[in-house]
Structures are given as structure tokens and as C-alpha cells.
């Protein structure tokens, strides 16, 4: 059986999420009034993922160079995040490549914690490694953090990357500070050398 590509994995995730959100829109359920009173009405899927729609927009292109050295940048980011002591990221002792994820997951007993299996996670991370020079610098059961040697420099590039992030970890956007793909692209992707993903 042929291994699925990152584009296929992320595309299936995006379109599955779109189907579920569209099907659930306006549906009544026990306690709905209380949820709406406390949290308000959630934004419609189309608003959240604008300028895209229910159909997967495809993968982002790799940004034009020059790139920082991925290993050096990762080491700097690990050191910088350690100094910040934000308490949110379980940093690794050094940077790892996507191919190292299975051994790390087994060593830390993390298999089955993420919404993708380890092979799918590796495929997505490898794709980002090739296009953006990412290195794995933080790993938990509900969070993955990577350094980014080739951050995107334009808003259209950032939105394309944000679409991939949404397909990988929608909670980043729907339950984060930004609450829309466009805002997330501007605040968490554009020019950023660290990407962090979490799942509720």
C-alpha cells in the first residue's frame, strides 16, 4: 500500500472538519442554551477559515530563500524558550528531525495521544521539514513545537501555511486567541520562527 502524502493527510482532515461543522451548524442539543449563554455562538466555519472554504486549498509553497541554518536556529529557540520559562512547552534536550518522532513517541509513551497516528505525524512534519526547515523542539501528549528556519514573509503565504496548521490542529485557531485563520496567520505564522500545535 502506497504511503499517503502530507497533502492527502491534511486535505482529508480539513474536509472532514468542514463536513462535521457544516452538519452541526444550528443543531439543537441538550444544554445548548447554557453553552451559548456562557460561550456565545461560535463563528461559522466559512468565517473561521476565510479566505478559504470547505474544500481543501492545498499545500503552501516553500518560501524563497535565504534560510537560516535549521540546526543552529533550533538550538537558539530551545535556549530562548528555556530562558522564558513559560511553562507551556515541554522542550526537548536538543532538536530532532521528523524521522526521529517514532522513537521519541515510543520512549515517552506518546503513541495514540495525537489525532494522527505517528506515521501520519512523521509525514506532515517531513513535508514541513523539506519546505520550511522545521525541527522538532518540544513534544508532549497534547502539544508539538517546532522551530522554523524558513518563515513565510507575505500575508498570502501565511494564510496558505495557516490552512495547513488548521488541518493539523484546528484547536490552535478555534480555541486559541485568534479564532480565525486570517488572524492566526497574521499573529502566529507571518515571520514566526516557532510554530506550536496543541489539541484539546
More confident residue, 71 or 20: 71
Query: Length of the chain in residues, anyone?
Result: 200
| Nearest Cα to Cα of residue 152 among 162, 166, 142 | 162
Q: What angle do CA 121, 71, 59 make, to 5 degrees?
A: 40
pLDDT for position 39: 39
CB 134 within 8 A of CB 146: yes
pLDDT for position 153: 95
More confident residue, 114 or 158: 158
More confident residue, 5 or 141: 5
Whole-number average pLDDT of the chain: 87
21 DSSP 8-state letter = H
User: Is pLDDT of 41 > 50?
Assistant: no
Q: What is the mean pLDDT of residues 100-127?
A: 90
**Which residue matches cell numbers 506550536?**
196
User: Is pLDDT of 132 > 50?
Assistant: yes
User: Is pLDDT of 40 > 50?
Assistant: no
In this predicted model, what pLDDT tens digit does every residue of 139-168 receive, in sequence order?
A: 988 899 999 999 999 999 999 999 999 999
For a pLDDT cut of 70, what percent of the chain falls above it?
Answer: 84
Amino acid at each position: 500500500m502506497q504511503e499517503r502524502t502530507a497533502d492527502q493527510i491534511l486535505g482529508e482532515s480539513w474536509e472532514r472538519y468542514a463536513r462535521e461543522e457544516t452538519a452541526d451548524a444550528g443543531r439543537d442539543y441538550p444544554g445548548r442554551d447554557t453553552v451559548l449563554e456562557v460561550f456565545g455562538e461560535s463563528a461559522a466555519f466559512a468565517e473561521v477559515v476565510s479566505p478559504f472554504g470547505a474544500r481543501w486549498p492545498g499545500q503552501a509553497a516553500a518560501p524563497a530563500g535565504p534560510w537560516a541554518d535549521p540546526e543552529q536556529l533550533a538550538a537558539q529557540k530551545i535556549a530562548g524558550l528555556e530562558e522564558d520559562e513559560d511553562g507551556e512547552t515541554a522542550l526537548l534536550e536538543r532538536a530532532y528531525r521528523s524521522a526521529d518522532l517514532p522513537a521519541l513517541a515510543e520512549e515517552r509513551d506518546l503513541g495514540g495521544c495525537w489525532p494522527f497516528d505517528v506515521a501520519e505525524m512523521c509525514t506532515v512534519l517531513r513535508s514541513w521539514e523539506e519546505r520550511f526547515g522545521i525541527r522538532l523542539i518540544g513534544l508532549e501528549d497534547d502539544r508539538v513545537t517546532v522551530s522554523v528556519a524558513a518563515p513565510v514573509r507575505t500575508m498570502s503565504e501565511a494564510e496558505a501555511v495557516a490552512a495547513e496548521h488548521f488541518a493539523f490542529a484546528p484547536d490552535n485557531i478555534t480555541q486559541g486567541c485568534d479564532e480565525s485563520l486570517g488572524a492566526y496567520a497574521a499573529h502566529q505564522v507571518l515571520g514566526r520562527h516557532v510554530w506550536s500545535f496543541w489539541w484539546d
